[in-house]
Protein backbone atom coordinates (compact mmCIF):
# COMPACT_ATOMS: atom_id res chain seq x y z
CA UNK A 1 0.00 0.00 0.00
CA UNK A 2 1.20 3.50 -0.89
CA UNK A 3 0.29 6.88 0.55
CA UNK A 4 0.36 9.79 -1.89
CA UNK A 5 -0.03 13.35 -0.60
CA UNK A 6 -0.29 16.57 -2.59
CA UNK A 7 -0.18 19.82 -0.63
CA UNK A 8 -0.77 23.38 -1.70
CA UNK A 9 -0.63 26.37 0.61
CA UNK A 10 -4.24 25.91 1.73
CA UNK A 11 -4.97 22.18 1.84
CA UNK A 12 -3.37 18.75 1.55
CA UNK A 13 -4.96 15.80 -0.22
CA UNK A 14 -3.94 12.35 1.06
CA UNK A 15 -4.68 9.19 -0.92
CA UNK A 16 -4.21 5.61 0.28
CA UNK A 17 -3.57 3.47 -2.79
CA UNK A 18 -3.49 -0.32 -3.01
CA UNK A 19 -2.86 -2.21 -6.26
CA UNK A 20 -3.07 1.14 -8.05
CA UNK A 21 -6.63 1.78 -6.83
CA UNK A 22 -7.74 4.52 -4.46
CA UNK A 23 -8.74 3.06 -1.10
CA UNK A 24 -9.40 6.25 0.90
CA UNK A 25 -8.78 9.97 0.52
CA UNK A 26 -8.67 12.69 3.17
CA UNK A 27 -8.14 16.45 3.10
CA UNK A 28 -6.20 18.30 5.80
CA UNK A 29 -4.75 21.80 6.06
CA UNK A 30 -1.91 22.88 3.79
CA UNK A 31 1.67 22.13 4.81
CA UNK A 32 4.50 24.43 3.80
CA UNK A 33 8.05 24.30 5.24
CA UNK A 34 8.51 28.00 4.44
CA UNK A 35 5.86 28.87 7.03
CA UNK A 36 5.90 25.87 9.39
CA UNK A 37 8.58 24.18 11.47
CA UNK A 38 9.23 20.45 11.52
CA UNK A 39 7.32 20.18 14.80
CA UNK A 40 4.33 22.13 13.47
CA UNK A 41 4.14 19.93 10.36
CA UNK A 42 4.30 16.76 12.48
CA UNK A 43 1.54 18.02 14.73
CA UNK A 44 -0.67 19.00 11.80
CA UNK A 45 -0.27 15.59 10.18
CA UNK A 46 -0.90 13.69 13.40
CA UNK A 47 -4.00 15.65 14.32
CA UNK A 48 -5.37 15.98 10.81
CA UNK A 49 -5.29 12.40 9.57
CA UNK A 50 -7.47 9.54 10.84
CA UNK A 51 -5.65 7.19 13.19
CA UNK A 52 -6.15 4.37 10.68
CA UNK A 53 -3.66 6.02 8.32
CA UNK A 54 -0.85 5.49 10.82
CA UNK A 55 -1.71 1.82 11.34
CA UNK A 56 -1.54 0.81 7.68
CA UNK A 57 1.48 -1.14 6.47
CA UNK A 58 2.88 1.33 3.95
CA UNK A 59 5.62 0.48 1.48
CA UNK A 60 6.21 4.12 0.53
CA UNK A 61 4.95 7.65 1.17
CA UNK A 62 5.12 10.12 -1.72
CA UNK A 63 4.67 13.70 -0.58
CA UNK A 64 4.43 16.59 -3.02
CA UNK A 65 4.22 20.04 -1.48
CA UNK A 66 4.35 23.79 -1.91
CA UNK A 67 7.69 25.10 -0.68
CA UNK A 68 9.39 21.72 -1.20
CA UNK A 69 11.81 22.83 -3.88
CA UNK A 70 15.12 22.90 -1.97
CA UNK A 71 17.03 20.12 -0.23
CA UNK A 72 16.69 21.93 3.11
CA UNK A 73 12.90 22.35 2.89
CA UNK A 74 12.40 18.77 1.66
CA UNK A 75 14.33 17.54 4.70
CA UNK A 76 12.05 19.45 7.08
CA UNK A 77 8.98 17.76 5.63
CA UNK A 78 10.68 14.39 5.24
CA UNK A 79 11.80 14.30 8.86
CA UNK A 80 8.29 15.24 10.01
CA UNK A 81 6.70 12.45 7.97
CA UNK A 82 9.24 9.77 8.88
CA UNK A 83 8.51 10.45 12.54
CA UNK A 84 4.81 9.82 11.94
CA UNK A 85 4.76 6.96 9.42
CA UNK A 86 8.15 5.27 10.07
CA UNK A 87 8.42 4.25 6.43
CA UNK A 88 10.42 5.44 3.39
CA UNK A 89 9.44 8.98 2.36
CA UNK A 90 9.95 10.73 -0.96
CA UNK A 91 9.39 14.50 -0.88
CA UNK A 92 9.03 16.50 -4.09
CA UNK A 93 7.59 19.87 -5.10
CA UNK A 94 3.93 20.51 -5.84
CA UNK A 95 5.11 21.61 -9.28
CA UNK A 96 6.45 18.13 -10.04
CA UNK A 97 3.10 16.78 -8.80
CA UNK A 98 1.34 18.99 -11.32
CA UNK A 99 3.67 17.89 -14.13
CA UNK A 100 3.41 14.19 -13.34
CA UNK A 101 -0.32 14.39 -12.72
CA UNK A 102 -1.05 16.30 -15.92
CA UNK A 103 1.44 14.68 -18.32
CA UNK A 104 2.59 11.36 -16.78
CA UNK A 105 5.61 10.64 -19.02
CA UNK A 106 4.89 13.06 -21.88
CA UNK A 107 6.45 16.53 -22.31
CA UNK A 108 4.44 19.69 -21.78
CA UNK A 109 3.98 22.93 -19.87
CA UNK A 110 2.37 22.38 -16.48
CA UNK A 111 0.74 25.31 -14.68
CA UNK A 112 -0.66 25.72 -11.17
CA UNK A 113 -3.29 28.34 -10.39
CA UNK A 114 -4.50 28.01 -6.82
CA UNK A 115 -3.72 29.98 -3.68
CA UNK A 116 -0.40 30.65 -5.41
CA UNK A 117 0.78 30.04 -8.96
CA UNK A 118 3.67 28.30 -10.66
CA UNK A 119 4.66 26.79 -13.99
CA UNK A 120 7.30 24.64 -15.64
CA UNK A 121 8.40 22.88 -18.77
CA UNK A 122 8.45 19.13 -18.10
CA UNK A 123 10.24 16.82 -20.53
CA UNK A 124 8.33 13.71 -19.46
CA UNK A 125 10.83 12.85 -16.73
CA UNK A 126 12.03 15.99 -14.98
CA UNK A 127 11.34 19.71 -14.78
CA UNK A 128 13.68 21.28 -17.31
CA UNK A 129 12.71 24.93 -16.92
CA UNK A 130 10.84 26.84 -14.21
CA UNK A 131 10.01 30.53 -14.20
CA UNK A 132 10.36 31.45 -10.53
CA UNK A 133 6.94 31.80 -8.88
CA UNK A 134 8.29 34.54 -6.54
CA UNK A 135 5.43 34.32 -4.03
CA UNK A 136 2.30 36.40 -3.56
CA UNK A 137 4.20 39.67 -3.00
CA UNK A 138 6.68 39.51 -5.89
CA UNK A 139 4.92 37.05 -8.20
CA UNK A 140 2.12 34.44 -8.15
CA UNK A 141 0.38 36.14 -11.07
CA UNK A 142 -3.01 34.61 -11.84
CA UNK A 143 -3.39 33.12 -8.37
CA UNK A 144 -6.18 33.47 -5.83
CA UNK A 145 -3.87 35.31 -3.44
CA UNK A 146 -2.95 37.93 -6.04
CA UNK A 147 -6.57 38.31 -7.15
CA UNK A 148 -7.49 38.93 -3.51
CA UNK A 149 -4.58 41.34 -3.07
CA UNK A 150 -5.63 43.39 -6.09
CA UNK A 151 -9.23 43.53 -4.90
CA UNK A 152 -8.40 44.48 -1.31
CA UNK A 153 -6.02 47.18 -2.47
CA UNK A 154 -8.84 48.71 -4.51
CA UNK A 155 -11.28 48.35 -1.61
CA UNK A 156 -8.95 50.12 0.84
CA UNK A 157 -8.23 52.93 -1.62
CA UNK A 158 -11.90 53.41 -2.53
CA UNK A 159 -11.44 52.23 -6.12
CA UNK A 160 -13.66 49.13 -6.00
CA UNK A 161 -17.40 49.47 -6.71
CA UNK A 162 -19.03 50.72 -3.53
CA UNK A 163 -21.70 48.01 -3.36
CA UNK A 164 -19.20 45.19 -3.81
CA UNK A 165 -16.92 46.72 -1.18
CA UNK A 166 -19.88 47.04 1.20
CA UNK A 167 -20.87 43.41 0.53
CA UNK A 168 -17.31 42.33 1.27
CA UNK A 169 -17.17 44.12 4.62
CA UNK A 170 -20.61 42.74 5.52
CA UNK A 171 -19.99 39.14 4.46
CA UNK A 172 -16.55 38.87 6.07
CA UNK A 173 -17.63 40.92 9.12
CA UNK A 174 -14.38 42.80 8.85
CA UNK A 175 -13.20 46.41 9.02
CA UNK A 176 -10.41 48.12 7.05
CA UNK A 177 -8.17 47.85 10.11
CA UNK A 178 -8.98 44.14 10.37
CA UNK A 179 -7.96 43.72 6.73
CA UNK A 180 -4.59 45.32 7.40
CA UNK A 181 -4.14 43.17 10.49
CA UNK A 182 -4.97 39.94 8.61
CA UNK A 183 -2.51 40.74 5.84
CA UNK A 184 0.39 42.09 7.86
CA UNK A 185 0.14 40.51 11.30
CA UNK A 186 -1.63 37.14 11.02
CA UNK A 187 -0.06 33.86 9.85
CA UNK A 188 -0.72 32.65 6.29
CA UNK A 189 -1.87 35.96 4.76
CA UNK A 190 -1.82 34.27 1.34
CA UNK A 191 -4.63 31.95 2.46
CA UNK A 192 -6.69 34.91 3.65
CA UNK A 193 -6.14 36.76 0.37
CA UNK A 194 -7.08 33.69 -1.68
CA UNK A 195 -10.47 33.38 0.03
CA UNK A 196 -11.45 36.56 -1.81
CA UNK A 197 -11.42 34.67 -5.13
CA UNK A 198 -14.46 32.69 -3.97
CA UNK A 199 -16.25 35.86 -2.90
CA UNK A 200 -15.58 37.52 -6.26
CA UNK A 201 -16.99 34.53 -8.17
CA UNK A 202 -20.50 35.79 -7.32
CA UNK A 203 -19.81 39.11 -9.08
CA UNK A 204 -18.40 37.98 -12.42
CA UNK A 205 -21.21 39.77 -14.26
CA UNK A 206 -19.77 43.04 -12.94
CA UNK A 207 -17.29 44.60 -15.39
CA UNK A 208 -14.89 45.61 -12.62
CA UNK A 209 -14.62 42.07 -11.20
CA UNK A 210 -14.50 40.44 -14.63
CA UNK A 211 -11.66 42.69 -15.75
CA UNK A 212 -9.79 42.17 -12.47
CA UNK A 213 -9.88 38.41 -13.04
CA UNK A 214 -9.06 38.55 -16.76
CA UNK A 215 -6.13 40.93 -16.28
CA UNK A 216 -4.78 38.71 -13.48
CA UNK A 217 -4.91 35.68 -15.79
CA UNK A 218 -3.35 37.63 -18.66
CA UNK A 219 -0.52 38.60 -16.34
CA UNK A 220 0.15 34.91 -15.67
CA UNK A 221 0.44 34.22 -19.39
CA UNK A 222 2.60 37.25 -20.15
CA UNK A 223 5.00 36.84 -17.22
CA UNK A 224 5.13 33.04 -17.13
CA UNK A 225 3.68 31.00 -20.00
CA UNK A 226 5.17 33.17 -22.74
CA UNK A 227 8.68 32.49 -21.42
CA UNK A 228 8.37 28.84 -22.50
CA UNK A 229 8.15 27.34 -25.99
CA UNK A 230 4.39 27.53 -25.53
CA UNK A 231 3.47 27.33 -29.22
CA UNK A 232 4.97 23.85 -29.62
CA UNK A 233 3.90 22.01 -26.46
CA UNK A 234 0.56 21.30 -24.77
CA UNK A 235 -0.29 23.54 -21.81
CA UNK A 236 -2.36 22.10 -18.97
CA UNK A 237 -3.56 23.56 -15.70
CA UNK A 238 -4.27 22.33 -12.20
CA UNK A 239 -5.53 24.17 -9.11
CA UNK A 240 -8.62 25.53 -7.43
CA UNK A 241 -8.63 28.88 -9.24
CA UNK A 242 -7.95 27.31 -12.65
CA UNK A 243 -10.82 24.90 -12.07
CA UNK A 244 -13.27 27.51 -10.73
CA UNK A 245 -12.56 29.98 -13.54
CA UNK A 246 -11.90 27.48 -16.34
CA UNK A 247 -14.11 29.32 -18.84
CA UNK A 248 -12.32 32.63 -18.33
CA UNK A 249 -8.93 30.86 -18.31
CA UNK A 250 -9.64 29.28 -21.69
CA UNK A 251 -10.80 32.65 -23.05
CA UNK A 252 -7.52 34.29 -22.03
CA UNK A 253 -5.54 31.36 -23.42
CA UNK A 254 -7.24 31.86 -26.79
CA UNK A 255 -5.90 35.44 -26.84
CA UNK A 256 -2.41 33.91 -26.84
CA UNK A 257 -3.26 31.28 -29.44
CA UNK A 258 -3.38 28.50 -26.84
CA UNK A 259 -5.93 25.69 -26.62
CA UNK A 260 -6.03 24.19 -23.11
CA UNK A 261 -7.10 20.55 -23.27
CA UNK A 262 -6.90 19.69 -19.56
CA UNK A 263 -7.84 21.67 -16.43
CA UNK A 264 -7.96 19.70 -13.17
CA UNK A 265 -8.78 20.83 -9.65
CA UNK A 266 -6.07 18.56 -8.19
CA UNK A 267 -3.40 16.35 -9.77
CA UNK A 268 -4.18 13.36 -7.56
CA UNK A 269 -5.89 11.11 -10.13
CA UNK A 270 -2.96 11.60 -12.48
CA UNK A 271 -0.45 10.99 -9.69
CA UNK A 272 -2.11 7.68 -8.82
CA UNK A 273 -1.82 6.68 -12.49
CA UNK A 274 1.80 7.87 -12.61
CA UNK A 275 2.83 5.85 -9.58
CA UNK A 276 1.07 2.78 -10.99
CA UNK A 277 3.59 2.78 -13.86
CA UNK A 278 6.34 1.51 -11.52
CA UNK A 279 8.78 4.06 -12.90
CA UNK A 280 12.15 4.24 -11.19
CA UNK A 281 11.91 7.74 -9.70
CA UNK A 282 15.11 9.59 -8.98
- What percent of the chain clears pLDDT 70, i.e. is strictly above it? 98
Instruction: Return d(Cα 182, Cα 42) in angstroms, integer.
Output: 25
Higher pLDDT, 134 or 214: 214
Beta bridge partners of 114: none
pTM for the predicted model, two decimal places: 0.87
61 with 91: CB under 8 angstroms? no
241-251 per-position pLDDT tens digit = 999 999 999 99
User: Looking at the predicted structure, is the pLDDT value of residue 201 above 80?
Assistant: yes
Q: How many CB atoms lie within 10 A of CB 143?
A: 32
140-192 per-position pLDDT tens digit = 999 999 999 999 999 999 999 999 999 999 999 999 999 999 999 988 898 89
Instruction: Return d(Cα 178, Cα 74) in angstroms, integer.
Output: 34
For residue 30, give Cα distances in angstroms to 7, 87, 148, 251, 273: 6, 21, 18, 30, 23
- What percent of the chain clears pLDDT 90, i.e. is strictly above it? 69
3-class SS at 61?
A: strand
In the prediction, which pLDDT does 9 show?
73
In the prediction, which pLDDT does 282 show?
43
109 with 225: CB under 8 angstroms? yes
Query: Which value, to the nearest 10 degrees, does the dihedral of the CA atoms of residues 54, 65, 215, 207 take?
Result: 10
DSSP-derived secondary structure letter, 276: T
Q: How many CB atoms lie within 10 A of CB 160?
A: 21
Residue 10, phi then psi, degrees to nearest 5: -105, -40
Name the average pLDDT for the chain: 92
Domains and CATH numbers, the chain: 2-98+268-275 (3.30.420.40)
Nearest to 10 by CA among 243, 239, 270: 239
User: Looking at the predicted structure, is the pLDDT value of residue 281 above 70?
Assistant: no
3-class SS at 51?
A: coil
Q: What angle do CA 176, 182, 186 make, to 5 degrees?
A: 155
User: Looking at the predicted structure, is the pLDDT value of residue 114 above 60?
Assistant: yes
Amino acid sequence: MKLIAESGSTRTEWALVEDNHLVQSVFTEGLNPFFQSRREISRSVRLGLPEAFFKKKLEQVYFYGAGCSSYEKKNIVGASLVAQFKTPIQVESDLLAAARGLFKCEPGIACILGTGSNSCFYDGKIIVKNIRAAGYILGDEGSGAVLGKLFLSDVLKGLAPKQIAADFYDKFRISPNDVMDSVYNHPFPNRFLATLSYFLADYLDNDYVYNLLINNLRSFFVRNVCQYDYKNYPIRFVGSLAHSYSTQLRDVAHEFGVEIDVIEETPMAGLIDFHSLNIEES
